[in-house]
């Protein structure tokens, strides 16, 4: 049997059903129960993404208002030097690159999204549970990022209003609500145009944000003068030393990893469109450690400069770039920057929080829920969550919010990697991913792999405890790493004998 990627690379573009047939497989499913065109393998002729598209997936993921706010918050709250926080974030970028190289490879190999890959470890029906869990996390992130994007639109509107409304509902005034609704409509409209339009949007928004951030830094540096370099070295100087400083350093890296947790698990939803594994890896290299380093450098200097110029060394540094831009005093720069930050935040929302839940929801009932329908459900639920961000959800603080969602998803990543690379040694059966036959490799017990689900649940208990149990507060930044390692370990313990029996391979 040919490798799917190799077999498809020399053929004309084929419909998904014909493609599966040409792999010498027969889809033995009840119609629509496990299969629709959105969940089918992507033919070689439709894999148009190269390294630049993957680079822009990460560029938009990095450059959102929430990403900047998280980085700035870590500079302020970590308790160590800003330069050490900077180094920890760069370290996280390299680590995330390694993680997504692993999670993306099976989807490049077989052309299927995460929701289908998860069937090989969780069961053809059991995969619906982790996919639903990932979808729920994505909806929470979608709502949060929609709110952050709306602050950029509100900034642009307020720049031209002389007397903005002051009355509020759920923490947002009239301008805030109008901005929130505008962002929601824009995102849904772009999503409905399809993946090719989304890719074009990402290719524009990613580079544009860097241009605006550099202009913003120049404007602030011109006003701060020679004080800026000194401020970077002293403003974020922390009080922690010794072992506490080491824990804080790796805690910062862990929190940044958790920030990307949703995309790390579902990265196959994008990797499946790339032409080769090499293109995927090159895009990951340029889009993660390289892009993240530049973005964090700009965030560090802009945050420090804004503290000197606009706050005169008083109070806490501003962590939302929309607030910083609003104080520059140049309405044209304010409007341009606001529009650019809006585009960047919409970019990450589509990449991390709209497309993956759409696939995950489609996997629940393929015959009734399409990719587009799943996206509309995500938008509706996410709208409610984002509307409550100021009044309720955001009260926990962004770092804790990030660690919590990361802790939920971490075991899923550990299980995926352990199952594919360790237990199955990168050998999957595409036919059985879509088969409801009780004799199928991935059918397990009535389509559910209860061992894997129990392993994931047990690992999630430990990772969530690291975030919410007061005695384990110091481990909050390590929640994602803890959950991923334990998920892989528990899955290996539970499944090592079962996988040997089902595949006939020696491990």
Q: Dihedral through CA 321, CA 322, CA 325, CA 326, nearest 10? A: -140
Question: Residue 124's pLDDT is what?
Answer: 92
* pLDDT in the model for residue 130: 82
Which is nearest to 268 in space by CA: 379, 126, 119?
Answer: 119
Question: Distances from the Cα of 75 to the Cαs of 88, 208, 252, 466, in angstroms?
Answer: 11, 25, 9, 21
Strand (E) or helix (H) holding 169:
strand 168-169
- Cβ 32 vs Cβ 111: under 8 Å: no
- Start-end of H helices in 321-427: 321-325, 331-348, 355-364, 371-387, 398-417
Please name which of 392, 382, 395 lies closest in space to residue 170, comparing C-alpha atoms. 392
How many angstroms separate the CA atoms of 72 and 15, rounded? 47
| pLDDT confidence of residue 395 | 67
- Phi then psi for residue 278, to 5 deg, are -65, -45
Residue 441 near residue 503, CB atoms below 8 Å: yes
Cα–Cα distance, 157 to 427 (Å, whole number): 54
Exposed (0-12), middle (13-18) or buried (19+): which is 400, by Cβ within 10 Å?
A: middle
Q: Which long-range contacts (CB under 8 A, 24 or more apart) does 498-503 make?
A: 498/451, 499/419, 499/423, 499/424, 502/441, 503/424, 503/427, 503/441
Structural domains of the chain in order of their starting residue, each with its CATH number: 4-394 (1.10.4160.10)
How far apart CA 500 and CA 269 sit, in angstroms, is 28
Torsions phi, psi of 22, nearest 5?
Answer: -70, -15
pTM of the model: 0.78
Per-residue confidence (pLDDT) for residue 312, from 0 to 100: 58
The closest of 66, 44, 77 to 386, measured between CA atoms, is 66
Greatest extent of the chain over all pairs of C-alpha atoms, in Å: 73
Residue 168, strand partner residues = 173
Q: Which of 136, 39, 125, 66 is nearest to 357 (CA)?
A: 136
Q: Please, are residues 40 and 19 in contact by the beta-carbon 8 Å criterion?
A: yes
Q: What is the full per-residue pLDDT of the chain (507 aa) written as tens digits?
A: 333 333 333 333 333 433 444 443 444 444 457 887 778 898 888 888 899 889 888 877 777 677 777 887 888 778 888 888 889 999 999 999 999 999 999 999 999 988 899 999 999 999 988 878 888 888 888 888 888 888 888 888 887 776 667 677 877 888 889 999 999 998 888 888 776 777 777 777 767 777 877 887 888 888 877 777 777 666 667 778 788 889 889 988 988 888 888 789 889 988 999 999 999 999 999 989 998 888 888 888 887 787 777 765 566 666 666 677 667 666 776 777 777 777 777 877 777 777 778 877 877 777 778 878 888 888 899 899 888 877 776 666 667 777 888 888 899 999 999 999 999 999 999 889 998 889 889 999 999 999 999 999 999 999 999 888 888 877 777 888 999 999 999 999 999 887 754 554 433
Residue 266 tokens, joined: 């579902």
């Amino acid at each position: 049997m040919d490798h799917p990627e190799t077999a498809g690379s020399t053929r004309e573009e084929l419909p998904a059903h014909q493609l599966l047939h040409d792999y010498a497989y027969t889809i033995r499913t009840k119609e629509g129960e496990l299969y629709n065109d959105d969940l089918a393998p992507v033919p070689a002729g439709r894999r148009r993404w190269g390294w630049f598209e993957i680079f822009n997936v990460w560029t938009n993921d990095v450059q959102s208002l929430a990403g900047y706010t998280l980085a700035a918050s870590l500079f302020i709250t970590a308790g160590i030097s800003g330069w050490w926080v900077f180094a920890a974030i760069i370290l996280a970028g390299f680590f995330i690159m390694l993680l997504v190289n692993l999670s993306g490879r099976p989807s490049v190999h077989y052309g299927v999204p995460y929701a289908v890959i998860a069937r090989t470890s969780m069961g053809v029906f059991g995969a619906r549970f982790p996919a639903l869990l990932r979808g729920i996390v994505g909806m929470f992130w979608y709502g949060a990022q929609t709110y952050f994007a709306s602050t950029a639109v509100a900034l642009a509107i307020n720049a031209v209003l002389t007397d903005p409304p002051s009355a509020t509902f759920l923490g947002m005034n009239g301008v805030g609500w109008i901005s929130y609704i505008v962002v929601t409509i824009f995102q849904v409209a772009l999503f409905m145009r399809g993946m090719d339009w989304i890719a074009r949007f990402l290719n524009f928004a990613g580079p544009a944000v860097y241009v605006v951030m550099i202009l913003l830094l120049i404007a602030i540096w011109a006003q701060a003068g020679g004080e800026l370099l000194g401020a970077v070295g002293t403003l974020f100087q922390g009080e922690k030393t010794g072992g506490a400083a080491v824990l804080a350093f790796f805690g910062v890296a862990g929190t940044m990893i958790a920030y990307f947790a949703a995309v790390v698990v579902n990265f196959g939803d994008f990797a499946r469109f790339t032409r080769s594994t090499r293109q995927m890896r090159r895009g990951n290299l340029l889009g993660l450690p390289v892009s993240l380093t530049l973005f964090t450098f700009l965030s560090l200097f802009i945050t420090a400069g804004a503290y000197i110029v606009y706050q005169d060394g008083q109070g806490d540094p501003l962590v939302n770039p929309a607030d910083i831009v609003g104080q520059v005093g140049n309405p044209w720069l304010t409007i341009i920057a606001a529009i650019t930050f809006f585009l960047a935040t919409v970019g990450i929302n589509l990449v991390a929080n709209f497309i993956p839940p759409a696939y995950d929801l489609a996997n629940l009932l393929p015959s009734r829920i399409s990719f587009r329908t799943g996206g509309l459900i995500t938008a509706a639920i996410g709208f409610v969550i984002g509307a409550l961000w100021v009044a309720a959800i955001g009260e926990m603080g962004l770092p804790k919010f990030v660690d919590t969602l990361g802790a939920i998803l971490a075991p899923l990543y550990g299980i995926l990697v352990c199952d594919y690379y360790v237990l199955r040694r990168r050998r999957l059966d595409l036919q059985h991913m879509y088969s409801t036959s009780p004799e199928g490799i991935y059918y397990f017990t009535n389509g559910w792999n209860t061992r894997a689900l129990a392993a994931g649940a047990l690992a999630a208990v430990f990772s969530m405890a690291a975030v919410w149990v007061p005695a384990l507060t110091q481990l909050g930044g390590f929640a994602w790493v803890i959950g991923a390692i334990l998920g892989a370990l528990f899955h290996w313990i539970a499944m090592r004998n079962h996988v040997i029996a089902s595949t006939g391979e020696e491990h």
